[in-house]
Amino acid sequence: MFRHLLVFLLSVFTYDVSCITINLESAKAVRNVSVKFVGVNLDSGLIGTKWRNFDFKSRKVLTLAKGLSPSYLRVGGATSDRIMFNKTHDQPGVNLPVADWDNMNHLAMNAGMDLIYDFNVIPRKNGQWDPTNARQLLEYTVKKGYKPAGYELGNEPNHSPQVHIISEKQLAKDFAAFKHVASSIGVPPFLTIGPDIGGVIMPYLEKFLEAGGGDVLDAVTMHQYYTNGQSATLKDFTDSKLLDSLIPEVQSFVKTCNQKAPHKQCWLGETSSCSHGGAQHISDRYVAGFLWLDKLGLSALHGLQAVLRQSFFGSNYGLIDAHLNPNPDYWLTLLYKRLVGSPVFDITQTSDHNIRVYAHCTNVSSSIGYKPGSITVYMMNIGSKTVYVHIPFSSSKTQQRYILSPGDHDGLTSQFVKLNGDVLKLPNDHSLPDLKPVVSHGTVKLEAYNMGFVVIPDAMKPECMQT
């Protein structure tokens, strides 16, 4: 014990390290998050490219998808506004073959994911949305007995060219028309989700919600990317100012959502590190985990009910790569699903801007089997110095630590990630590896550019006792 203390004090005073304290004892539970808080997106652009290397029938894809379920699986994006289901040769646009629609539904059903599909809002008749093609898809869906969890209409309507065609008021009418069509066909209960606002959200969102959009929707969505993937640099990914830029965006979105669409859910309906396909050799590497884990932390803390990651597969920001193998952010998402539960605590520390820390009750329903009362603290060190994280509340209690570090000598741009020192890999196509913690106690040593989860099973936190 004394030797530990001595080593600790020596390192604090002689080396370039710092120490922060997390106050868990007085932390208040401020939000609840649902079991579907983290979801994924498949960009509808994949439809026009015949899905590239994505394989709906792959055993490996199913295993990876199951690991993240239950969750939403959205198929949407800019191409959605050009897609025609079962297109005839003389129709303009991108064809969605019937077989693709079957594949999406089967993958979602087999993996236990909830499919969300984004309809094309562009077809018009006398200025109104023309539901003819959507009706074909819905009738077929009902006939097959598929039950997607939700539907959207259009993508980023505040951006051209749509904004010139469809006003906020008109879009609200179009959403109402969509709901009417779906109910006339006998579509089983589903969520109506939108308007998938992109970038600068106000005032389009406000006007749309005021014009009746708020009454029609079950979940209000905005899209968010920190920066443009074509100009992003590695430094951006460890920049606390860039990470903090999410706070006012989410706050103003949640405020508008809660005011203009009370009692409706507010989602980041499509989000990633960088727009335009992500940053090459950065958005799919170890370092991308900082933006992703921090986004999950901030989004839960500020009252969002779901965060849909762009993307499950594809471009530079996929959770799985072109060979259908998991990227570091896949493993991070899997750990998050297994370890992080509800409610969310309002812990903040301001003494070191390179340390980001969040705390929730532990997910007690995951296969790891933690008991009620447990707390999960998750933390990131985006700086180049080791930091000692002191959690007074837990110092005498056992901790189960899951510490992530770069998977090889590529460091921040490693394609791999280590969990407690061992590279995470799929053992085979039909099973995920065991995610094993290191049992420890006392102050957590978080090295430069490491991140991780610390579970305190004996926390006995009253807010975490209900199951």
Ligand X SMILES: *[C@@H]1O[C@H](CO)[C@@H](O)[C@H](O)[C@H]1NC(C)=O
Task: Tally the residues of the chain.
Answer: 467
Does residue 168 have an active-site annotation? Answer: no
Q: Which of 417, 446, 240 is nearest to 335 (CA)?
A: 417
Residue among 150, 289, 341, 437 that touches ligand X (CB under 6 A): 341
Interactions with ligand X, residue window 365-424 (CB under 6 A): 365-366
Determine if 33 is a binding residue for ligand X (CB under 6 A).
yes
Q: What angle do CA 433, 435, 441 make, to 5 degrees?
A: 160
x/- map, 311-330, ligand X, by CB under 6 A: --------------------
Please say whether the beta carbons of 102 and 96 come within 8 A. no
Q: From the candidates 152, 156, 168, 249, which is the catalytic residue?
A: 156
The three-state secondary structure class of 104 is helix
- The stretch among 166-174, 236-244, 253-261, 337-345 that binds ligand X (CB under 6 A) is 337-345
x/- map, 75-114, ligand X, by CB under 6 A: -----------x-x---------x----------------
Say if strands 94-96 and 128-129 run parallel, antiparallel, or are unpaired. unpaired
x/- map, 348-367, ligand X, by CB under 6 A: ---------------x-xx-
Alpha-carbon distance 56 to 49, whole Å?
Answer: 14
**Least Å from the CB of residue 341 to ligand X:** 5
Residue among 8, 18, 70, 187 that touches ligand X (CB under 6 A): 70
Alpha-carbon distance 67 to 363, whole Å?
Answer: 15
Whole-angstrom CA distances from 337 to 62, 219, 377, 381, 440 are: 17, 21, 13, 21, 22
**Least Å from the CB of residue 161 to ligand X:** 28
Alpha-carbon distance 92 to 78, whole Å?
Answer: 16
Nearer to ligand X, 35 or 439 (CB): 35
Please say whether the beta carbons of 22 and 389 come within 8 A. yes
**Least Å from the CB of residue 299 to ligand X:** 12
Alpha-carbon distance 115 to 71, whole Å?
Answer: 9
How many positions of this chain bind ligand X (CB under 6 A)?
Answer: 20
Alpha-carbon distance 123 to 128, whole Å?
Answer: 8
Q: Which amino acid is at 177?
A: A
**Least Å from the CB of residue 316 to ligand X:** 25
Whole-angstrom CA distances from 426 to 259, 320, 328, 401 are: 45, 12, 12, 21
Residue among 18, 23, 32, 413 that touches ligand X (CB under 6 A): 32
Copy the structure tokens of residue 359.
Answer: 């705390």
**Least Å from the CB of residue 29 to ligand X:** 5
Determine if 63 is a binding residue for ligand X (CB under 6 A).
no
Nearer to ligand X, 349 or 366 (CB): 366
**Least Å from the CB of residue 40 to ligand X:** 13
Give the binding site for ligand X (CB under 6 A): 29-33, 35, 37, 70, 86, 88, 98, 136, 140, 337, 340-341, 343, 363, 365-366
Task: Give the residue numbers marked as catalytic.
Answer: 156, 270
